[in-house]
Amino acid sequence: MLGGNPVYDAPADLDFEQALAKVGTAIHLSSYENETSQHCQWLLPQTHPFETWGDCRAQDGTICVTQPLIETLLGRQVHARTPGPAAGRQVDSQTLVRRAVDRVAGRTLNDKEWRQTAARWFPGRQRSEASFRRAEGTGRSRSQARGGRRIGTGVLPQARRFTTARFANNGWLQETPHLVSKLTWDNAALVSPATAKKLGLEIGSMVRLELGGRSLQIPASSCRGRPTVRSA
């Protein structure tokens, strides 16, 4: 596994931890020792992005090249671990990135063009707007409030700070208040003031969310007037 922490943030329905236990030899290339690393036989140190070449594609298809600021101090580069054309040969990350950019360009860039691409950007192939349009909600659930009263359906949005929990271990993001509720270092079931009044909910009241046979106990939160709600 190249980076990531699927034991922690993979969808619960995948039961990734149980599936990983069936693997004979699990190797994790990661910058950190995390939950996934603890379930692997081998943990290999991964280089920091500042130590290696790389590339990425923006939503509009623009190709960007990332270049190292320092020489590799310790660790393995994901790109450089890829076998080259010859058996057993390792290719450095810069060469692999140049080849990828050449494939997008449809020709081999000369040194001047490559330097310009590394310094700026490359248009690449444009993708349609629909191809990267994301759904705001990841699912719907039936909510059961205090006293066993159901309130119909609810939306489970993706956390903009952590996406799918990939950045949940980033303290700076945890400290960033939610734009509306101002929640930090916590999560909550956000309900409208009208629903909160109807069900007799107060900030911090515990509710249970049910979806697909799974349930979650979570404090309720509601914004009344100015968004002054704090973490429960």
pLDDT, tens digit (0-9, with 9 covering 90-100), for 56-87 = 877 777 778 888 888 888 878 776 655 545 44
Answer for the pair 173, 161: CB distance below 8 angstroms, yes or no: yes
Quickly list H helices, 51-182.
93-105, 111-119, 171-175
Using CA atoms, how far apart are residues 49 and 77, in angstroms rounded to an integer?
Answer: 9
* Mean of all residue pLDDT scores within the chain: 75
Instruction: Provide mean pLDDT across the span 160-178.
Output: 75
Does 38 have pLDDT greater than 90? yes
**Token pair 């349609």 is at which residue?**
128
DSSP state of 219: E
Using CA atoms, how far apart are residues 65 and 96, in angstroms rounded to an integer?
Answer: 12
Does 26 have pLDDT greater than 80? yes
Q: What is the pTM of this model?
A: 0.60
Instruction: Provide mean pLDDT across the span 118-142.
Output: 52
Amino acid at 21: A
The pLDDT value recorded for residue 223 is 55
Instruction: Provide mean pLDDT across the span 147-163.
Output: 65
Using CA atoms, how far apart are residues 31 and 142, in angstroms rounded to an integer?
Answer: 39
Query: What are the contacts of 116-123 at 24+ separation with CB within 8 A?
Result: 117/63, 117/65, 118/65, 118/67, 121/62, 121/63, 121/64, 121/65, 122/62, 122/63, 122/64, 122/65, 123/61, 123/62, 123/63
